[in-house]
Structures are given as structure tokens and as C-alpha cells.
Amino acid sequence: MKKYALILAAGKGTRMRTELPKCAYPILKKPMISYIIENIERSTIDEICVIVGHKKEVLKEILGDRVIYAEQTEQLGTGHAVLSAAPQLEDKKGVTFILPGDMPLMEYPLMDKLLRAHQEMGNDLTVVTMDMEYPKGYGRIVRNEYGSVIGIVEENDCNEFQKQIKEVNSSVYIVDNQLLFEYVRKIEKNDRKGEYYLTDIVKLMHQDHKVNTFMVRNPMITMGINDLYGISTAEKYLRDFINKGHMLNGVSIVNPETVTIGHNVIIEEGVWIYPNTTIMGNSLIKKGATVGPNSEIVDSIIHEKAEIRHSIVLESEVGENTTVGPFAHLRGHAVIGKNNRVGNFVEIKKSTTGEGTKAAHLIYIGDSTVGKNVNFGCGSVTVNYDGVKKHQTVIGDDVFVGCNVNLIAPIKIEDNVFIAAGSTVTHDVPKGAMAIARNKQINKEDYAKHFIKAKDDHK
């Protein structure tokens, strides 16, 4: 039996008060709809259809060709949204898993569990429900005297008795695909709001088909996000859930409430993570590494026993036994070799370094290929930009770069070179040479007194 996912993502999300469509808003720096798609891709569902509308181009840019699309041209409610997908799904046999695009916390094991329950109970329609102590704002599940589900009543349409019902609709449904579109066409427009409610499918189907419910124990999992406070609630839940998983897998996290780890991050056992640290994107932290405190890692690889302290690493790679920081900045696909030292206020951009290289403090290395056992003195710079375009610096092995050296790219420094402090080097340096590129010092004897006198006269 084929399984389809239908994601309702056409709404504006006006309560978010942002320019982004709601389903594109980031949670832990990743669009909320991406969480849904990634979990569906790991589930037993065969095909994904996303209903788009408001700023559809934003969602299409995020999802690309991973899904098929249906477009809701008018905002006429959830029933109308589902009907928009009829050209894509109506002729296909199987079951459709319907869920809102603002429900990022549902993991794929629960999706598969719901699909199995639907099939094993022989349901034609399964409504996923929650038990809420304070159900205000949710549609109530209405049952007859035999306990059978006969309808869902929205909050504003509830009578006083129905408002006391604590079993509520999560807006997640599993339904026979061909029955879905047959009954969606029978939904009538709600007089009060002028919309077609998908919830009305329950009262239409229960008389002739098996309608049942599946209650989710943790309401957070099926929480829909409607505003920026909801974003913060989802982030806190995800942060706790993700950190707990890593700690159970052997990662030591100090003050985990201050540590934020993204959904796709992989961390091996034996890693230490210290407070106020953020690790996001498709990052990999290998065994025995130390990250933090006060560090940010995005889309980067940190190898075994490397140490990142008070630093930022963006789209870069840090080699085994290398120390970075405090207050270093690696970016633009910097690849730092083994046993390196990247120290205070060092920035490395779009460069590679070989094993044993040291850049201890106040250094910029950009658009460079650096060999092994190179030592950069304090204040040295690879001058890569001429005002129009960037140029390459190539440095061989066992090179000493003195303090306050400027290497004007394009330039090549071969192996075993010594560059004297204060030099501005504009030409290639051959193997084994010493380069001195600075003006000759002139000492004017007994001259400083003139500056002292001028200073006193100024007072």
C-alpha cells in the first residue's frame, strides 16, 4: 500500500509578524518545514506533496525537487487547501498522512506508528488527538454515547458543554486517499468564517466508514506554531530533546540549558561541550574534542582531540589535536591541519594549513595554502585583496614569518624560508632564503629632545 504525505503550508501566518511565510521561519537556524520533510523522508511514506500559497517561491527554494507541489490560490480554509492537491493525489491508491506545515516536533518513528495503527485498526479515517488540561483554542473531539467519534467542533463553535471536553484535535489525519477527495468535495463553507474546514470530514465520514482516533501522549509533539513565542517554546523542547540524546550517547555537556545543538549535528562519544556554545548545521564533532565555552560551530568538522575555546568556526575543518582560540575566527572553508595552534584574535579564511603550523595571535590568513611547521609571528598578514579581486598566497614547509610581516599576494614562499620582522614582501622567496623587506633604520643622535621641548611648549 502506497503512503502519501500532504503538508498544509499555504498560510500567511499573520500572527508571526514577519516577512517570511510561517513554515519557512527558522527553528534552531533551520526552517521549520525542513524538520517535517526530513522526518517524512526517514519514514515509510513514499511521496510528499506540499500545498503552497503565500510566498510559495520561498518554500520552493528551501525544498527544491524533494517534494511535489500543489498550489492553494485563495485562503479558503484547510478543506479547500486539501482539495488543491486533488490533481496530484486523487487518482492514486493508498493512504494520505495529512499534517500542518507548522508542526516540526513530530519525529518519524511516531509517523510510522500512526500509519501502522491506522492499518491494523482497519480505519478509513484516523484523527490524531491530544488530551489537554486547558484546551482553549483547539477543536474538541465529540463522541456519541457509544464512544464513537462523530465530529470535531472548533473552539468558536462550541457550546458550553463542548468547551469542557479535553480531548482535542491535533490537525493530523490519516485517511484513505480516494475517500479523502470524495468527502472533501462534500464539505460546506462555514457561515461564520467563510472557509471550508477539513475537520468537517469526520461528521461526513463516520456514518458510512470507520472513523477512529489515536491519542498522542505528549502534546508538545503535535504542537502547532502560530507566533514567535511558539517558536521559542519549540526551540526549548528541541534543545532539551537533542541535548538529552547526545548526553545519553556519551557526550558531556556542562550546563546543557545554555548549549544549543542543531537537529542534524553529529557528535561522537567522549566529546566535552562547555556553556554558552552553539553547534548548528551539518556539523560533525569527533571523539575526544572539546568545544566551548562561548563558541559557535556551523557546518564544520572538528576532529579528534581538537579544542575550540571562545571562538567561531563557520564552514571549516579543524584537524586532530589542534587548538583554536580564544577569540579566533575560522570561515569560508578554512581547513586547519593536525597539531596546529590558532590563537588569540586570529582569522583564517578560505585557507589550508599543514601539520604543526602555528598562528598564535593577531594574524590574518586569507586565500592561502600554508605548509607544515610554519610559524606566523604576531601581527602578520597575508594581503589577499588588491581592491578589485582576491589573490593567492602559497607558503611552503618550515617557514618562519616574523612579526608584522605583510605578504602581498599573489606570492609564493618556498620551503625553509625566514622572513624578517616588519617586512612587506612583494616578490616570491626561493627555498632556504632569508627575506628582509624594510627601510634601513636611521638613528639621529640626541634628536629626541626636540620632541620633548615641543611637547612642553604645547602645554
CA dist., res. 262 & res. 326, Å (int):
23
CA dist., res. 252 & res. 291, Å (int):
10
Tell me the catalytic residues: 361
At a CB cut-off of 8 Å and minimum separation 6, what does 1 contact? Answer: 93, 94, 95, 119
At a CB cut-off of 8 Å and minimum separation 6, what does 205 contact? Answer: 124, 125, 179, 183, 211
The pTM of this model reads 0.85
Altogether, the residues listed in the chain come to a count of 459
DSSP 409: S
Give pLDDT tens digits along the chain (459 positions): 899 999 999 887 777 787 888 899 999 989 999 999 999 999 999 999 999 988 899 999 999 999 999 999 888 889 999 999 999 998 889 999 999 999 999 999 999 999 999 999 999 999 999 998 888 888 899 999 888 899 998 888 888 888 889 999 999 999 998 899 999 999 988 877 788 989 999 999 998 999 999 999 888 899 888 889 989 999 999 999 999 999 999 999 999 999 999 999 999 999 999 999 999 999 999 999 999 999 999 999 999 999 999 999 999 999 999 999 999 999 999 999 999 999 999 999 999 999 999 999 999 999 999 999 999 999 999 999 999 999 999 999 999 999 999 999 999 999 999 999 999 999 999 999 999 999 888 888 888 777 776 666 766
CA dist., res. 297 & res. 111, Å (int):
31
